[in-house]
Amino acid sequence: AYLAIHDYQKKGGLPYPPGPRPLPLIGNLFDIPKEFAWLSFNRFARKYGDIISFRVFGQVIVVLNSSKASKELLERRGDIYSDRPTIPIHDMMGWEWVVVIARYTEYWRQSRKLLERGLRPGAIAGYHPLLQTNARVLLTQLLENSNEWEAHLRYMSAVLILGMGYGYEVAGRNDRKMDVARKMAQLGADTVLPGALLVNDLPFLRYIPEWLPWLSYKPIARYGYDLGQEVLHAPMAFVKEGIVNGTAQPSLALNGLQEIENVNASKHEKAEEVLAGALGSMYSAGNDTTVSSIMTFIVAVLLHPDIQKMAQRDLDAVTKRERLPTFEDRPALPFIDAICMEVQRWRPVVPLAIPHATTKADVYEGFFIPKGALVIGNVWALLHDPEIYPEPESFKPERFLNADGRLRDDTYLTSAFGFGKRICPGRHFVDATLFIVIASLLSVFNIEKCKDTGGPDQFPYTGTAVSRPHSFRCSFVPRDKNSEELIVADTLAC
């Protein structure tokens, strides 16, 4: 009774947003599935409205299922909706330096500033040669062995991020630097959403000692800690060694280290920590996400060969099939851009973004949102809203084009990269990568099903925080002899 009265007074008599009735103590623990939670939230929204809430062991979780509510709270009221919740398992892993999950602190502000500066559109233009060269390396690898297309994509993505961040040249597909970032990203994606691990709901479980192996979270914490330390320190050590030997290549790390060279000793250590944290976060956040988008593009063209043909017609009109496409061709290729946009809408890679948290209590449309509430923007629901995107389950790039074939304005799609102050700083890099990879692939290959690729239901996706298609087989068949020659000629020219 005391708790109920206290709760009522705190809320000034206002209700929490509606949602399924919580059970005593555990609350809605069983209403939040571990996988594909965005679909369940969307079903609840149909019953309770755009804004819904859950309680799990006293923690209030608010889910926003419309663009209106997400824009109002996560963007316009960003000053109080830009914190992150403390996630006990990440605490145990010592991941407080990871920008993606960092609290809304001075450390976050400084590292975010560095990332925004390094990844702004103007800076990304400087990476066009790196992106173009590596898209073409991808073509060569696919021509030599298209069975391993997924491994080639992962390799390309790691080369790009490690090149841009640290000027590091990936030694090969078994390069350890590539592997650790992927494992860390995977572990993060599997543990970040509510309901993923019991220790996140019941933090006292972190103290269960290791001699209770089935109950202890310490082994997983140690594994995460080791991965984190390697991602944080190993590539920076590589750059510093390069500076000493005179072999360091241009990179964000090199720029950053040169900028803080003359900062006085007391501030230098802090500045270097911020730089290492920002770049380590970029390195772990940027790899798998980009690959997932490209895989979705492949799924889409396997299901819609007609879209592939239309895109190839546009590409051929621009390149005359005498050369490979470049960034300079982009203004003349709106349909390729529309494909990139539809890829992000149709199967958003991070369907629930990353949970935000409130730093102050707030009221929205008569509902009380307490300080410390988890606030989740249901990106999937926003991008599958039939009012904004009719027939949302269909893959239709033309929805992003005007009648005259030019790209139309769309203010909703940015939610594929999250919201407000925490919006993904890597989005311009993703935009450039998707364009050049998709244009390059379609200009010389037909992407086709293999005998065992299967039908539309044969492309299941993972259901955790970062959603990607499970591995599948397909073929990259050169469109003709001329296409093969273009790839070979380009390889020789490099």
Give the interface with ligand HEM as residue ranges (CB under 6 A).
99-100, 112, 115, 119, 281-282, 285-286, 289-290, 293, 349-350, 353-354, 356, 416-419, 422-426, 429-430
Residue number with CB closer to ligand HEM (191 or 483):
191
Chain-centroid distance, C-alpha 73:
21
Instruction: Give the Å distances, CA to CA, from 265 to 111, 268, 390, 467.
Output: 19, 5, 58, 43
Angstrom distance (rounded) from CA 428 to CA 436: 13
Burial classification of residue 258, based on how many CB atoms lie within 10 Å of its CB (0-12 exposed, 13-18 middle, 19 or more buried): exposed
Residue number with CB closer to ligand HEM (29 or 87):
87
The β-bridge relationship of strands 59-64 and 374-377 is parallel
CB atoms within 10 A of CB 229: 15
Residue number with CB closer to ligand HEM (114 or 487):
114
CB atoms within 10 A of CB 246: 6
The β-bridge relationship of strands 356-357 and 362-364 is unpaired
Minimum distance, C-beta of residue 151 to ligand HEM, in the bound complex (Å)? 19
CB atoms within 10 A of CB 126: 10
Minimum distance, C-beta of residue 294 to ligand HEM, in the bound complex (Å)? 9
Q: What is the DSSP string of 321-369?
A: TSS---GGGGGG-HHHHHHHHHHHHHS-SSTT---EE-SS-EEETTEEE
Minimum distance, C-beta of residue 327 to ligand HEM, in the bound complex (Å)? 17
Minimum distance, C-beta of residue 192 to ligand HEM, in the bound complex (Å)? 10
Residue number with CB closer to ligand HEM (155 or 217):
155
Strand, helix or coil for residue 71: helix
φ/ψ of 344, rounded to 5, equals -70, -30
Residue number with CB closer to ligand HEM (254 or 416):
416
Half-sphere exposure of residue 318: CA atoms within 13 angstroms, side-chain side: 23
Residue number with CB closer to ligand HEM (99 or 239):
99
Minimum distance, C-beta of residue 87 to ligand HEM, in the bound complex (Å)? 13
Residue number with CB closer to ligand HEM (158 or 257):
158
Minimum distance, C-beta of residue 112 to ligand HEM, in the bound complex (Å)? 5
Minimum distance, C-beta of residue 97 to ligand HEM, in the bound complex (Å)? 12
Half-sphere exposure of residue 113: CA atoms within 13 angstroms, side-chain side: 10
Residue number with CB closer to ligand HEM (297 or 335):
297
Minimum distance, C-beta of residue 349 to ligand HEM, in the bound complex (Å)? 4
Minimum distance, C-beta of residue 152 to ligand HEM, in the bound complex (Å)? 18
Q: What is the DSSP string of 246-275?
A: T-PPS-HHHHHHHHTTTS-HHHHHHHHHHH
Residue number with CB closer to ligand HEM (319 or 467):
467
